[in-house]
Amino acid sequence: MKIKNSTQWSNIYSNASKYNVNVKDSRYKLAFYGFLAVIASLVILVSFTFQYILALSLAIISVISLSLFVSINNNKPITNSFILTSVGEIFLNKEQRSYQLLVGSRHSFIGCWFVMIPNHTTHSQHDMSSKTTPKQLFIFRDSFTKQDYSRIGRVLSELE
């Protein structure tokens, strides 16, 4: 008597875990642009006027104010969200298509750098593979909750 196996082996990986990741506006982004503006103004100030004491005091005040700005808790409302699967597929809310994360995606103490290509059907993917350039997206770390950031890190480390 032969027993039929009720497990469908082809659907083993189709039930990938999906995570809804919420993204808030980043204060690090504003602090980074502020730092670049301060550096540019200091270079201009020192190169044209030789006012080193004025430039030094401006640099100290800027560093203190930017560090205080970054240390404040980020309680801003959620501005965007996306769905991330455990196999590296991303469904962005603003776009109707999904993306697949590539091995070049990284995460660090600053934020996440996503390198992704659009998902297509197998026929159109073969035709467009040579034309498709990867889409790149950087999101600062303070835009995520700790739980979402650890999920992203886990998915990105599994891609490698």
- pLDDT for the residue numbered 12: 47
Q: Is the CB of residue 110 less than 8 Å from the CB of residue 32? A: no
For residue range 102-133, list pLDDT tens digits in order.
Answer: 999 999 988 899 999 988 744 444 445 556 78
Fill in the amino acid letter for 87: V
Of the candidates 87, 131, 110, the one whose C-alpha atom is nearest the C-alpha of residue 31 is: 110
Ranges of residues in the chain with a pLDDT under 50 are 1, 7-13, 121-127
Across the chain, where does the E strand assignment appear? Answer: 18-24, 78-85, 89-92, 98-101, 106-107, 111-118, 135-140
Q: How many CA atoms lie within 13 A of 42 on its CB side?
A: 18
pLDDT value for 125: 45
User: What was the pLDDT predicted at 15?
Assistant: 56
Q: What is the pLDDT of residue 130?
A: 53
What is residue 81's predicted lDDT score, i.e. its pLDDT?
84
pLDDT given for residue 121 in this prediction: 46
Strand partners, 80: 23
Q: What angle do CA 78, 84, 85 make, to 5 degrees?
A: 155
Q: Which residues 6+ apart lie within 8 Å of 159 measured at CB?
A: 88, 101, 102, 103, 105
**Whole-angstrom distance, CA of residue 80 vs CA of residue 155:** 20
Do 70 and 27 meet the contact criterion of CB atoms below 8 Å apart? yes
Residue 141 DSSP one-character state: G
- pLDDT score for 74: 62
What local confidence, expressed as pLDDT, does residue 105 receive? 92
Token representation of residue 46: 């020192």
| pLDDT at residue 126 in the model | 47
pLDDT > 70 fraction of the chain, expressed in percent and rounded? 77
